[in-house]
């Protein structure tokens, strides 16, 4: 939604306001191929946006960057990736303006759902629009990669295969609509900590990414579920054994597939349909975790972003 007003409260002529949905990301599959010279890990992953989202509101101002948020625990300075995204655009193009950003957060923090990355991606898209910069998709993706491994995908969060740190993206055929219950245990996990713990655990099973891509091409849901897996589970479950207890509870409740999202701790329970997702969510009401019902998104969701 883009709103134009003749004068903003800062007295800038033709002040523009913009509001963008910043969608959460899940990994349908995540495999780690090895550690790289730069300290990152080489990944092979299949990424997907879901309709759980933050709303990023932005307004052009005469100078400076201000960030506010409905959650107090999130910083408003350079420690916030949304702030760094705004700074990167203003500095890279020597823009003589500022920007006011308000984050209406819903995506839980440190959850493995790319909440910070997706806000940063929305800021890049918003600044491109607010300042009529005309940046191409490739230019936006290059800036996004500077901010973090998940930020390039979050610009256009449709079904994609990613390599490198997760920033080299190839679009895949759209995932059939899947309903899922997103279960966030009552603690966060540092992505860095999970990757650093990988050498201490055995990887017993790897995702079948080729099979998963074939399933996307054929629209075969069962084959899709059997290809899904996330090897970061071995490290996260070893660091936080309580996650295995959550996993057992969720497996008992049922669903096509239960797996961890990104570096965790969020667990995803894939369901047959919306009604099953609502039923599963209701069974989790008294558990010590946050529960969201979500579905995968498609091109139509990005058109009305
Ligand atoms: O890229 P981003 O800043 O989101 O990554 C956070 C941390 O996760 C990195 O500092 C690194 O420790 C780890 N990471 C990694 N390999 C990746 C992605 C992230 O080791 N492919």
Q: Clarify whether 150 is annotated catalytic.
A: yes
- Number of other residues whose CB lies within 10 A of the CB of residue 147: 22
The minimum-distance atom of ligand 1 relative to the CA of 41 is 16
Report the interhelical angle of 81-92 vs 137-147 (nearest 10°).
Answer: 130
Strand, helix or coil for residue 125: helix
pTM: 0.94
Cβ(174)–Cβ(158) under 8 Å? yes
25, 105, 184, 257: the active-site residue: 25
105, 150, 184, 257: the active-site residue: 150
Strand, helix or coil for residue 204: coil
Classify burial at 232, counting beta carbons within 10 Å of its beta carbon; exposed 0-12, middle 13-18, buried 19 or more.
buried
Pull the structure tokens for residue 237.
Answer: 């479950």
Q: Clarify whether 38 is annotated catalytic.
A: no
Q: Where are the alpha helices (DSSP H) in 148-239?
A: 151-155, 191-197, 209-218, 221-227, 232-239
CA-closest residue to ligand 1 atom 14: 40
Pocket test for ligand 1, best of 27, 31, 32, 192 (most atoms within 8 A of CB): 192
| Interval between CA 192 and ligand 1 midpoint (Å) | 6
How confident is the prediction along the chain (305 residues), in pLDDT tens digits per residue? 444 333 333 333 346 899 999 999 999 999 999 999 999 999 999 999 999 999 999 999 999 999 999 998 899 999 999 999 999 999 999 999 999 999 999 999 999 999 999 999 999 999 999 999 999 999 999 999 999 999 999 999 999 999 999 999 999 999 999 999 999 999 999 999 999 999 999 999 999 999 999 999 999 999 999 999 999 999 999 999 999 999 999 999 987 899 999 999 999 999 999 999 999 999 998 889 999 999 999 999 999 88
């Amino acid at each position: 939604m883009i709103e134009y007003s003749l004068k903003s409260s800062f007295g800038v002529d033709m002040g523009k306001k913009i509001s963008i949905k910043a969608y959460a990301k899940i990994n349908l599959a995540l495999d780690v191929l090895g550690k790289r010279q730069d300290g990152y890990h080489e990944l092979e992953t299949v990424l997907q946006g879901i309709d759980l989202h933050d709303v990023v509101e932005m307004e052009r101002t005469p100078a400076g960057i201000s960030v506010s948020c409905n959650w107090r625990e999130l910083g408003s300075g350079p420690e916030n990736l949304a702030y760094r995204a705004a700074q990167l655009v203003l500095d890279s193009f020597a823009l003589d303006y500022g920007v006011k950003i308000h984050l209406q957060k819903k995506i839980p923090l440190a959850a493995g759902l790319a909440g910070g990355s997706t806000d940063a991606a929305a800021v890049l898209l918003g600044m491109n629009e607010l300042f009529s910069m005309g940046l191409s998709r490739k230019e936006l993706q290059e800036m996004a990669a500077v901010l973090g491994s998940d930020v390039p995908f979050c610009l256009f969060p449709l079904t994609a295969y990613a390599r490198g740190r997760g920033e080299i993206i190839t679009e895949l055929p759209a995932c059939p609509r899947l309903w899922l219950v997103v279960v966030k245990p009552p603690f966060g996990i540092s992505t860095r900590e999970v990757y650093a713990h990988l050498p201490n655990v055995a990887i017993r099973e790897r995702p079948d990414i080729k099979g998963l891509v074939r399933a996307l091409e054929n629209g075969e849901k069962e084959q899709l579920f059997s290809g899904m897996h996330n090897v970061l589970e071995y490290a996260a479950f070893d660091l936080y054994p309580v996650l295995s207890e959550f996993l057992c509870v969720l497996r008992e409740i049922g669903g096509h597939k239960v797996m961890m999202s990104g570096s965790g701790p969020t667990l995803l329970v894939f369901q047959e349909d919306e009604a099953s997702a609502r039923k599963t969510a209701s069974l989790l009401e008294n558990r010590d975790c946050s529960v969201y019902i979500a579905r995968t998104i498609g091109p139509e969701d990005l058109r009305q972003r």
